[in-house]
Amino acid sequence: MDTKNLDDYLAGLGISEGDAAPPPVELLTESALSPLSEANQSPLAVFEDFMQGLIAHLGSDLTLTVHDSGEALEAEIGGERAVKLAGRDGRTLGAIEVLAYAVLAKHAGRSDLRVRVDAGGFKRRQADNLGKLAERLAVQVAKTGEPHELQPMSPAERRVIHVALKDHALVTTESVGEGQGRHLVILPRTDHPS
């Protein structure tokens, strides 16, 4: 892209060369960044500080609930506009989770924790829909005896289906493929009595 086209593009976005860069967003409080408090802060406190800083910059009408579920640190963002934070297919929430994970690794010294962030119940509804899909497909696979391959999914989406069908008497699940092409196959069980 040449300079003229870039200038035209930026002008179309309302940005000119003379515009000052926006101030950096401070997502952690000073206490979370202090080397002395890092050792004293629990991973949950670091996660909560990060999320509160993020929410403060996104809007005053948003609410935040943070807790430790035992298997992950979880945050629920509420409010009228919360569901808009999910982004297309939950990508914004995924990006927030990656950032929160990086903050935990750096400031709490923990890279072994899972992080889940939901906004306006987006992920909860998505998980419910995936669970229902899994059940419908399990019935179809059990009836036909033919495996069913699903489209590529994120690890979190695959996990929802694995968990939904882990105790199913007639079908089992298997992840196949690599990278962005990794997907699930629902297979008839071969170890059940006919």
> Is residue 67 helix, strand or coil?
strand
Q: How far apart are CA 134 and CA 150, in angstroms?
A: 10
What is the rounded average pLDDT of the residues 27-34?
46
Indicate the pTM of the whole model: 0.67
Determine the pLDDT at residue 85: 84
At 159-168, the pLDDT tens digits run: 999 999 999 9
Tell me: the pLDDT tens digits for 99-157?
Answer: 999 998 888 777 788 899 999 999 999 999 999 999 999 999 999 999 999 999 888 88
The pLDDT score that the predictor gives to residue 137 is 95
Amino acid at 42: S
Q: For tokens 């992840």, what's the residue?
A: 175
Q: Is the pLDDT of residue 80 over 90?
A: no
DSSP class of 77: E
3-state secondary structure of 64: strand
Are the beta carbons of 164 and 133 closer than 8 angstroms? no
**Sheet-wide strand order for 148-149:** 148-149, 183-188, 171-176
For the chain, domains (ranges, CATH) are 25-120 (3.30.300.20), 124-188 (3.30.1370.50)
Contact 123, 97 (CB under 8 A): no
Q: 29 pLDDT band (50/70/90 cuts)?
A: very low
Please check the confidence at residue 10 and state whether its pLDDT lies above 70.
Answer: no
